[in-house]
Chains A and B, each alone.
Chain A
Amino acid sequence: MNTALDVRELLNEAAAHYRDRPHAVSMLRECLERLEEPLRVGFTGTPGTGKSTLVSALAEWPTRALREIELSDTPAPAEHVDATVRLVRHLEPDELAGTRPVGGSAFARQTAVNSVLVLGRADEVGAGRIDALLTAKQLARRAWRENPDCAGFQGVIAVAGQLGYAGRALRDDEFEVLRALASVSRPELERYLLSVDSFVDDPFPVGVPPGSRKHLVSRFGLYGVRLALTLIRTGCESRLKLSAELVHRSGLGDLRDTLAGCFVARAEALKARTAVVRLEGLLAAEPLPHGDRLAARVERFAAAAHDFRELRLIAGIRGGRTALTGEVAEEAVRLLGAQGLAPTERLGLEPDADPAEIHAGAESALVRWRHEAERADAAHAERAAARVIVRSVEGLLSLFVA
């Protein structure tokens, strides 16, 4: 992929055209510098959706994948972030209608593969029943597939931010208190878990002081405490196990994977996109006498940038908006780079696979998807999707030519 290279050339050429307008040149310089900086991801949403909780839960995450991006929970103008995480409290039509990414140029719309929708505070779904998170995940999935307002997102993910944060940073003393509580039989403990008041105020059957109970409930929420106790009873006997399970259930992991796969892996393309959108804005606001050629190059850039096509198709397949299902769909998104852009990751091979193996894998995939792309009985959309995959695999093979 030489997206980044292309966009640098484009920006330099534009700067040459605008050389007698200092502010335009400095803007273009800034765009160029931005290309060297980490990807900026902005979190937006109405107050109370848990932006800050989510950002701090992710930011302190010790993985390489997220270390290279910059997360911000303060509202920033659209041109200052490369990708967006939008939070809502409920998947209600009114709330969703406000989140739909709007307008922009044809290029901006065509390449709008830079936002993820998050159903924050997923533990509040279903009045705190123990299956609340599962229900929330189902709701999110259904909304992504069925709600036209959600179609523009790279993913719709249910996340219990508070729970995920508490689970990831679970301390030994907290775990001990939870284990002590779990040792009480379920029926006996039930009435103390009925409400925050009864959990904190009532005389307790085990020696856990009200202070630590209060701490626990403020960290995990009543739902989180209930879930943690259930998990301990059903086999999470160590802090690490419980921590991992809580994080897994909270949806925080899903969000991290989506950010890593859709944003971090495509950081270059997304940063280039931001730069091109800004360049487009400049061309529209201060037209050049001979700007047509530059505008044409911007258009060509959009058409040629395969990253955006791949991302759109991944979202389409995962959001259930293509005919691909099951294993075929899995293979398709893998080849498109949903699990990583390295050839081995795309082909589903071991990281240390040798070149011959990679070449063989790529060739067999190419044959299969070429066939799909040329099937006369398939719908046009399916064949178009297959062609995108073919182009991705061809990209893999081109590495060998070099």
Chain B
Amino acid sequence: MTAPAWLDVLNETLDACAAHGRADLAERLRRRRDERAPGTRIAVVGFPKQGKGYLLNALVNAPVCAVGDASTPAVPTEIGYAADPAATLVGHARESVPVGDLAKELEVRPPGSLRRVEVGLPRELLGTGLVLVDTPAIGDPRSPRTAATLDVLADAHAVILVSDATQELQPAELALARHIRTWCPALVLALTKIDVSPDWRELAARNRAALSETGVVADVFPVSATVRQAAAKAGDAVLNGRSGFPELLNWVGEQAARPIERTRALAAAVSVRAAAVELVETLQTRLNAVSQDNGVDQVTLLHQAQRRAEELRRQNVRWQNMLSDEITDLLSDAEYDLRERTRMIVRHIDRTFDEGDPVQIWPDFQTWLEENLAEAVETNYNWVSDRSEWIAQAVASTFGSHYGQAPELPLTGSGVDSIPEVGAPRIERFKIGQKLFTGLRGSYGGVLMFGLVTSLAGLPLINPVSLGAGVAFATKSVRDEGGTRLQRRQALAKAAAQRHVDDVFIRFSKEIKDEVRQVQRRLRDHFAAVSDQLSEELTRQRELIIAGSAERDRRTQRVKKEIDRLAALHRKAGALGTGATPRRELSA
């Protein structure tokens, strides 16, 4: 015998479910595949107190299900054919009890000790291998009873949903109907207790409308177990007709009469379609998550990176300009400052030697000059150092707070110690001999001059007058000579001091300029490195982003392909199943 066509489709879907981490769906499909029971299974489900037990008892005309105030059992009851009535409790072991004692037996069993109950009845209806499954009432979605019922649905080929005629279908019941319809090929609603409801016809109509609004294809069969029971007791066929049960039984018969292979194909088709839809939803969600969350982020990130690169470029221009401007300013300011300071010193030197005699004041002056020059140079140097640091900070701040750490600027030191000593000028003193000689020279001129004049008056060349004049001249000459010599000394000292100051200025202005250039170089290197690092990071980031989105594209493509495959499975299952036109096809 060749494997039925639906098996391949089912297996393929099962594999897909397992591959995509939906073990729950895979398990349900596996149960569809591995069914070994010979006949159609119809599950009867509903919320509490809807008359499920009465309905089942009326269907098989036997009191097999607990009814009324007794709480309904927490395990499913499977009712199938047996030549003699029999009931079996299936727990760890199988235990037979009389059908009549079933309800009583169930009540005394500790909860959780049973898995299911099997009941066999000699009914023609069940002869084809049909199994009716009574399920625990659906309630709290988290309770084990509800779970047990939903578990039964995975094996059911058809479902009778029970809801009574005292109230319209509740939202929870409609949701249950929709859930059932996705996994079972056939679903009907049994509207029970129509005997006590004056307006069950309107209610049935409203329920039909509600079901079709929810998108559930299901017939509604209004029934009354009470009327059916009375009819059975009286043997009244008309009354039985009124109970609504003949129609319901008719439907059950149709389900049972269909060849089991056909039924299984239908069930497999519906299950595959449900699984495919769920799986596609899962994948679609994943796809959306990828393309929405990350995708949007991707673009944003790229934009951000782009913006930051441009920012960096502008920043580079900015800091370079700033650095060179500041350094130029600093150079000229530093030179000016030093010149200003030395000029002050020179002015003081001038004043000092305009009056003082270098012979007397030189030692004091030398000390003063050295101190003042050292101070001037040092102040200038400190000032340059402060300015350099300020420049470093200012440039760093153009990189924003993150890179705002300025580099250390270890200046080499002012070198004040290496200022040379001031060379003392050659000072000539006005010695006694020189004074004598100068006096003689002056007196000689005076004697001669006045001697000649007085000789005209008949006086000898050397006479008291000329001698007197000679003395006067000698004195004046010595004095004049002394003044001249002082001036010369002063000029010499001034020149010497000024030359020294000039030397110091030239030397240190060069030194300072070198330092500043050094600073400039160091800052340039530092910030160039920072900038390089930033741009490298940006490049890496962009590469990562681009690589990431390529990977995502590949993944998205894979998921899309998978969705296409599932959609194809869904279509195939549709063709296998009802043969009717599928309501809605999947699309990727």
Indicate if the CB atoms of B49 and A92 lie closer than 8 Å: yes
Residue B197 is within 8 A (CB to CB) of chain A in the complex: yes
A164 to chain B, nearest CB (A): 17
Residue A212 is within 8 A (CB to CB) of chain B in the complex: no
Chain A, residues 190-209, CB within 8 Å of chain B (1/0): the string is 01001111101000000000
Residue B224 is within 8 A (CB to CB) of chain A in the complex: yes
Residue A285 is within 8 A (CB to CB) of chain B in the complex: no
Tell me, in angstroms, the Cα distance from A268 to B559 when the chains sit together: 69
Indicate if the CB atoms of B227 and A195 lie closer than 8 Å: yes
Residue A223 is within 8 A (CB to CB) of chain B in the complex: yes
- Name the one of A94, A128, A200 contacting B226, with C-beta atoms under 8 angstroms: A128
Indicate if the CB atoms of B198 and A217 lie closer than 8 Å: yes
Chain A residues in 8 Å Cβ range of B198: 196, 200, 214, 217-218, 222
B494 to chain A, nearest CB (A): 86
Indicate if the CB atoms of B239 and A48 lie closer than 8 Å: no
Tell me, in angstroms, the Cα distance from A200 to B198 when the chains sit together: 9
Tell me, in angstroms, the Cα distance from A128 to B69 when the chains sit together: 12
Chain A residues in 8 Å Cβ range of B144: none
Chain A residues in 8 Å Cβ range of B200: 196
A201 nearest in chain B by CB position: B242
* A-B CB contact pairs (8 Å), 17 listed: A90-B49, A92-B139, A94-B139, A97-B140, A124-B166, A127-B54, A127-B193, A127-B225, A128-B195, A128-B196, A128-B226, A195-B226, A196-B194, A196-B195, A196-B200, A197-B242, A217-B198
- Name the one of A125, A194, A218 contacting B195, with C-beta atoms under 8 angstroms: A194
Chain B residues in 8 Å Cβ range of A197: 194-195, 242
Chain B residues in 8 Å Cβ range of A135: 69
Task: Say whether, besides A194-B239, A196-B198, A214-B198, A127 and B140 are in contact (CB < 8 Å).
Answer: no
User: Given A92-B137, A195-B226, 13 more contacts at CB 8 Å?
Assistant: A90-B48, A94-B48, A94-B139, A127-B68, A127-B193, A135-B69, A194-B227, A195-B242, A196-B196, A196-B198, A197-B195, A214-B198, A218-B198
Residue A51 is within 8 A (CB to CB) of chain B in the complex: no
- Name the one of B51, B139, B197 contacting A127, with C-beta atoms under 8 angstroms: B51
Chain A, residues 296-309, CB within 8 Å of chain B (1/0): the string is 00000000000000
Indicate if the CB atoms of A195 and B48 lie closer than 8 Å: no
A259 to chain B, nearest CB (A): 26
B139 to chain A, nearest CB (A): 4
A174 to chain B, nearest CB (A): 16
Query: Chain B interface secondary structure, helix, strand, loop or mixed?
Result: loop
B555 to chain A, nearest CB (A): 43
Chain B residues at the A interface, C-beta cutoff of 8 Å: 48-49, 51, 54, 67-69, 137, 139-140, 143, 166-167, 193-198, 200, 224-227, 230, 234, 239, 242
Chain A residues in 8 Å Cβ range of B69: 125-126, 135, 139
Number of interface residues of A (CB under 8 A): 28
Residue A343 is within 8 A (CB to CB) of chain B in the complex: no
Indicate if the CB atoms of B140 and A94 lie closer than 8 Å: yes
Chain A residues in 8 Å Cβ range of B225: 127
Indicate if the CB atoms of A222 and B195 lie closer than 8 Å: yes
Chain B residues in 8 Å Cβ range of A194: 195, 226-227, 230, 239
B145 to chain A, nearest CB (A): 10
Task: Say whether, besides A125-B69, A195-B226, A222-B196, A93 and B167 are in contact (CB < 8 Å).
Answer: no
* Most A-side CB within 10 Å, residue of B69, B193, B194: B69
A202 nearest in chain B by CB position: B242
Residue A221 is within 8 A (CB to CB) of chain B in the complex: yes
B86 to chain A, nearest CB (A): 27
Tell me, in angstroms, the Cα distance from A305 to B293 when the chains sit together: 59
Tell me, in angstroms, the Cα distance from A191 to B231 when the chains sit together: 10
B231 nearest in chain A by CB position: A194
Tell me, in angstroms, the Cα distance from A194 to B198 when the chains sit together: 12
Chain A residues in 8 Å Cβ range of B197: 196
Residues from 296 to 352 in A contacting B, C-beta threshold 8 Å? none
B195 nearest in chain A by CB position: A195
Indicate if the CB atoms of B167 and A195 lie closer than 8 Å: no
Tell me, in angstroms, the Cα distance from A214 to B199 when the chains sit together: 11
Tell me, in angstroms, the Cα distance from A198 to B67 when the chains sit together: 24
Chain B residues in 8 Å Cβ range of A121: 166
B427 to chain A, nearest CB (A): 93
Indicate if the CB atoms of B49 and A195 lie closer than 8 Å: no
A128 nearest in chain B by CB position: B196
